């Protein structure tokens, strides 16, 4: 089974990528584990619950259903889940299994980070976005009115179990939203992955089993390498935020309701690519190639009626803004990015507007 190691100071843990990976769940539970709490959504449980039930047979476990939705990734939901754990036999020996998409991985991970001051979590991501990004690397948290993921904790899991077979039931739009995160990984760190996504676009969209697990594995390998080098995002890990600076602003501006996270990142990657070129970091040919590749996995919902000025105004409240300086991750060529701050706000506004104009009529 392809397996990658995330080596961080709190712990090193495996990330398994293979059909049937969820069947290995019991092997990754600690000796003496108490009650297992599977945090999931009704749709994921209905479609894939048996993949978790089988390895947990004979163990004490409870299923906690979370309603889902970015707008529900809030402290109030966390509290409700923690209350359920406390009344249903949770204690310090309990383990959370976060079984679902990025929202469940973030919220379930944060629940584990905070319940009784911290219990273990196993991440079992079921969307492409969660498999290649949210489920790997220990970032957990919830949203505030003021912005995304503003309350949270680094809480590394015991293991991440990725079964590419579960992608077959993902709505097509969600799958494409995840593909933008894979493309992001190629643009920031791997020309090989970028080319795979450009050349094999049709097979990837068709979920070809000869291509998709390989694509997921390449993306996971990069995520594991980056997190191992810089768990706390003081340096290299910041490159994973390519497209997220303006992407987060767009999600907040649209009330977390109009776009999926990956779609907002697609917008943010377009804007950052324009910005990189306008600021003199990226050649025109590479800019065009990156924009074309993003378009290959479109369209995203129309962005008509959004104000670029409002998006830029939101950037100062983002976690990536340090001492009032906005940091951007900008491509310098395909497979390499640079973290840049102190850019002229007029340039940022122009780039944000250029990407909005391209997508206004989509």
- Tokens 């999926």 identify what position? 260
Judged by beta carbon, residue 7 or residue 80, the one nearer ligand GLY is 7
By the rule CB under 6 A, 240 interacts with ligand GLY: yes
Q: Per CB under 6 A, which region of 79-87, 121-129, 131-139, 348-356 contacts ligand GLY?
A: 131-139
- The contact pattern for ligand GLY, residues 88-127, with x = CB under 6 A and - = no contact, is ----------------------------------------
Q: 184 is written with which tokens?
A: 């992001």
Shortest distance in whole angstroms from residue 133 CB to ligand GLY: 5
Is 195 a residue of the active site?
A: no
- The contact pattern for ligand GLY, residues 136-175, with x = CB under 6 A and - = no contact, is -x-x------------------------------------
By the rule CB under 6 A, 286 interacts with ligand GLY: no
CA dist 180 → 69, 102, 300, 304 (Å) = 19, 14, 11, 21
Judged by beta carbon, residue 248 or residue 277, the one nearer ligand GLY is 248
Is 253 a residue of the active site?
A: no
Shortest distance in whole angstroms from residue 230 CB to ligand GLY: 9
Whether 217 and 162 have beta carbons less than 8 Å apart is answered as no
Judged by beta carbon, residue 19 or residue 147, the one nearer ligand GLY is 147
By the rule CB under 6 A, 327 interacts with ligand GLY: no
Q: 258 is written with which tokens?
A: 């109009």
Catalytic residue among 70, 77, 231, 233: 233
Catalytic residue among 31, 117, 145, 172: 117
Cα separation, 94 vs 151, whole angstroms: 23
Is 248 a residue of the active site?
A: yes
Shortest distance in whole angstroms from residue 238 CB to ligand GLY: 8
Residue nearest ligand GLY, CB atom distance: 240
Whether 123 and 98 have beta carbons less than 8 Å apart is answered as yes
Catalytic residue among 73, 155, 184, 241: 241
Shortest distance in whole angstroms from residue 244 CB to ligand GLY: 7
Whether 18 and 1 have beta carbons less than 8 Å apart is answered as yes
Provide the edge-to-edge strand list for the sheet that holds 61-65. 3-7, 12-17, 159-162, 121-125, 95-100, 36-40, 61-65
Is 181 a residue of the active site?
A: yes
**Helices of type H across the chain:** 42-48, 50-56, 75-87, 102-114, 128-129, 172-189, 191-199, 201-205, 212-229, 244-253, 261-278, 284-296, 308-314, 345-360
Is 277 a residue of the active site?
A: no
Shortest distance in whole angstroms from residue 138 CB to ligand GLY: 8
Judged by beta carbon, residue 55 or residue 135, the one nearer ligand GLY is 135
CA dist 37 → 66, 96, 159 (Å) = 12, 5, 15
Cα separation, 243 vs 124, whole angstroms: 25
By the rule CB under 6 A, 237 interacts with ligand GLY: yes
Whether 128 and 167 have beta carbons less than 8 Å apart is answered as yes
Is 310 a residue of the active site?
A: no
Shortest distance in whole angstroms from residue 36 CB to ligand GLY: 25
Distant-in-sequence, close-in-space partners of 144: CB < 8 Å, separation ≥ 6: 74, 150, 151
Is 139 a residue of the active site?
A: yes
The two beta strands, 61-65 and 36-40, are parallel
Is 233 a residue of the active site?
A: yes
Question: Binders of ligand GLY among 185-204, rule CB under 6 A?
Answer: none
The residue count for binding ligand GLY (CB under 6 A) is: 6
Is 172 a residue of the active site?
A: no
Is 319 a residue of the active site?
A: no
Binding footprint of ligand GLY on the chain (CB under 6 A): 133, 137, 139, 233, 237, 240
| Catalytic residue numbers, as ranges | 117, 139, 181, 223, 233, 237, 241, 244, 248, 261
């Amino acid at each position: 089974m392809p397996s990658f190691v995330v080596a961080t100071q709190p712990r090193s843990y495996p990330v398994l990528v293979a059909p049937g990976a969820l069947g290995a769940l019991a092997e990754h539970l600690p000796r003496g584990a108490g009650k297992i709490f599977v945090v999931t959504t009704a749709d994921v449980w209905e479609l894939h619950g048996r993949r978790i039930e089988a390895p947990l047979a004979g163990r004490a476990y409870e299923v906690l259903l979370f309603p889902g939705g970015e707008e529900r990734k809030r402290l109030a939901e966390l509290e409700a889940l923690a209350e359920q754990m406390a009344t249903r036999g949770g204690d310090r020996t309990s383990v959370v299994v976060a079984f679902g998409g990025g929202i469940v991985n973030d919220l379930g991970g944060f629940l584990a980070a905070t319940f009784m001051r911290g219990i273990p979590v196993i991440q079992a991501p079921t969307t492409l976005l969660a498999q290649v990004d949210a489920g790997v690397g220990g970032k957990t948290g919830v949203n505030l009115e003021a912005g995304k993921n503003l309350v949270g904790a680094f809480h590394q899991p015991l293991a991440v179990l990725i079964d590419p077979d579960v992608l077959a039931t993902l709505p097509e739009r969600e799958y494409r939203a995840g593909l933008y995160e894979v493309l992001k990984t190629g643009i920031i760190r791997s020309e090989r992955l970028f080319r795979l996504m450009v050349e094999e676009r049709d097979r990837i969209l068709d979920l070809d089993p000869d291509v998709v697990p390989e694509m997921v594995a390449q993306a996971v390998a990069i995520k594991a390498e980056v997190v191992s080098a810089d768990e706390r995002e003081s340096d290299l890990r910041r490159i994973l935020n390519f497209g997220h600076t303006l992407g987060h602003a767009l999600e907040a501006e649209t009330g977390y309701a109009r776009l999926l996270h990956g779609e907002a990142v697609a917008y943010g990657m377009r804007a950052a690519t324009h910005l990189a070129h306008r600021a003199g970091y990226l050649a025109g040919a590479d800019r065009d190639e990156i924009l074309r590749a993003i378009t290959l996995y479109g369209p995203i919902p129309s962005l008509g009626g959004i104000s670029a000025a409002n998006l830029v105004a939101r950037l100062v409240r983002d976690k990536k803004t340090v001492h009032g300086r906005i940091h951007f991750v900008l491509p310098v060529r395909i497979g390499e990015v640079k973290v840049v701050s102190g850019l002229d706000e007029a340039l940022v506004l122009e780039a944000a507007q250029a990407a909005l104009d391209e997508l206004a009529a989509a």
